[in-house]
Amino acid sequence: MRTKYSLINIVAGVGGHLLNMVLSFISRMVFIRYLAAAYLGVNGLFSDILGMLNLAELGIGSAMIFSMYKPAAEDNREELGRLMNLYRMLYRIVAAFVLVVGLALLPFLDVLIKGDPGIENLRIIYLMYLGNSVCSYLLSYKNSILLAYQKAYVRTVIEQLLRTMQMILQIVVLALTGNFLLYLAVQIGTLMMTNAVVAFKVDRDYPYLRDEKRLPDKEKRKDILKNIMAMGMHRFGSVIVNGTDNLIMSAFVGLTSVGIYSNYRLVLKSLNDLLCKVYSAFTGSVGNLGATEDGEYVYKIYKQLDFFMFLFYGYITAGLATLFNPFMRLMFGESYLFPMRIVLVLIVQFYVSGMRQINLQFREAMGLFWHDRYKAVAEAIINLVTSLILVQRHGVTGVFLGTIISTMTTCFWVEPYVLMKYGIKTDWQSKLKTYFADYGRRTATVLVGGLLGYGLFARHIDTVMMFILKGVGFTMVYGALVLTVFGRTAEFRALFEQGKRIIGRKMSKGK
């Protein structure tokens, strides 16, 4: 059943996201045509400012969803109703905090933007971003019950359909009016509609949640608050690491660089979101797994999923090294390109971040927030200090180098250590050594694949057809390399056999 729900979640997430990726790039090309590059910078800057304010969320969502896995597995409706009441109350407090602090920052926008961007209604634009952030907390908590029951695909389908409508409408609005305020209004309206539709479906499918008026008992609330404290520290680290790049670039380099980066960020975020649909499809199943199975079985599944995600992240990383700038040139033009040295740093950051994701999924699903809480604070401090130092000497490159340094000195070793020691437990030292050995071999494979790809396929790409042909050539070379290095490993064989079983079941059903 866990495999079935995971596959449904993957199909629903990936299928819809591929369509949205295409529309996102079309929307961005229309955006660049009708609006100045400074608007891209404002979009990135305000998103990061509100990301900083969202630190008030403190990881409440992750802690609450973890607390729901066990009662969902047992179908304990009374406990789930109590947990949802607590979740709603906490998110309303967060929404009020974000609104108050966001309004307090309004007079200081000029300090955060270097020079005059020449954009009208800057404060109105900021207030619209703020309203979007506040509204996101009012109904989104109801999504948690779907995750607890391994039915994330329900929200995914609703979200993808409405997001497709949003992007089509935004393209039309920009083409007809060139009005950024209307563009944002469409975005905010879609988010509110998505949360409202999901809330309606949850109320209809789980009516017992509304019948329960009480909160969890005192002991349960204490455990949840402890996890929220730990997740709050993780949230702090994540917001500082991921939410300060645009702020630092805006303050030290200027909004134009933020605007150029926003195009690269669009591509990387689209790829990350796509892969997120894959690994997050396992979240509910992993939570159920951690609540019902022993450590050795959990470790076996972890190894397979970790290798599964490496196949994706490794292929995309080497592919970006080969084709990232040619793609950006075809999509947005020569004036929106970063030098290759900056692009390589962005690619390394993408890979390092991506290779953490399965560890983070298992940590959250197994409730291991407390054990690495100080790591997040150390990561944030190292990132902020190194980025501020390096940006003054190396500009945009220095900002991203700071992020890589902070990740490698903290997350790279702490997260697998915590997972093995406190989650898997059995023979954890040996398993940790195996993890780092695998990481080294996989990274070396990606490096060789990237060098081969760049040397063989990166040049003379001036048409879409040539880009596609070079992409196919790279895929064949990289696929052969991965088969040579990993074709005989236990993880590869397990995934291959699982794929054969799934295909066999589909074929037998079709007969």
Q: How much is the pTM?
A: 0.70
Could you tell me if residue 326 is inside a domain? no
CA separation for the pair 81, 211 (Å, rounded):
8
- Give me the number of domains the chain comprises: 1
Q: Does residue 115 surpass a pLDDT of 60?
A: no
Q: What is the average pLDDT score of the chain?
A: 83
CA separation for the pair 435, 416 (Å, rounded):
8
Could you tell me if residue 314 is inside a domain? no
CA separation for the pair 286, 400 (Å, rounded):
32
CA separation for the pair 495, 304 (Å, rounded):
7
Q: Give the pLDDT of residue 10.
A: 56
The residue written with tokens 């509100």 in the block is 50
Look up the domain containing 402 and give its range: 2-292+338-426
| CA distances from residue 177 to 166, 169, 182, 243, 325 in whole angstroms, order as listed | 16, 12, 9, 31, 31
Could you tell me if residue 506 is inside a domain? no
Q: Does residue 242 surpass a pLDDT of 90?
A: no
Could you tell me if residue 8 is inside a domain? yes
Within 10 A of 229 (CB to CB), how many other CB atoms are there?
15
The secondary structure element, H or E, covering residue 55 is none
Our CA angle for 345, 167, 329, nearest 5°, is: 35
Q: Is residue 93 helix, strand or coil?
A: helix
- Which of residues 253 and 383 earns the better pLDDT score? 383
Q: Give the pLDDT of residue 385.
A: 92
Could you tell me if residue 303 is inside a domain? no
CB 371 within 8 A of CB 319: no
Contacts of 36 (CB under 8 A, 6+ apart): 118, 119
Q: What is the pLDDT of residues 398-445, one digit of tens each?
A: 989 999 999 999 999 999 999 999 888 889 999 999 999 999 999 999
Widest CA span in the chain: 67
CB 152 within 8 A of CB 205: no
Confidence category of residue 478, pLDDT binned at 50, 70, 90: very high
CA separation for the pair 427, 422 (Å, rounded):
11
CA separation for the pair 387, 393 (Å, rounded):
10
Confidence category of residue 283, pLDDT binned at 50, 70, 90: low
CB 230 within 8 A of CB 369: yes
Q: What is the pLDDT of residues 340-355, one digit of tens each?
A: 999 999 999 999 999 9
Contacts of 295 (CB under 8 A, 6+ apart): 423, 424, 425, 426
Confidence category of residue 41, pLDDT binned at 50, 70, 90: low
- Say how many residues make up the chain: 511
Could you tell me if residue 147 is inside a domain? yes
Q: Is residue 293 helix, strand or coil?
A: coil
- For residues 297-303, give the mean pLDDT: 85
Handedness of CA 460, 465, 471, 476 (dihedral sign): negative
Could you tell me if residue 390 is inside a domain? yes
Q: Give the pLDDT of residue 67.
A: 85
Handedness of CA 134, 284, 203, 192 (dihedral sign): positive
Could you tell me if residue 431 is inside a domain? no
CB 442 within 8 A of CB 310: yes
Q: Give the pLDDT of residue 16.
A: 58
Q: Give the pLDDT of residue 347.
A: 96
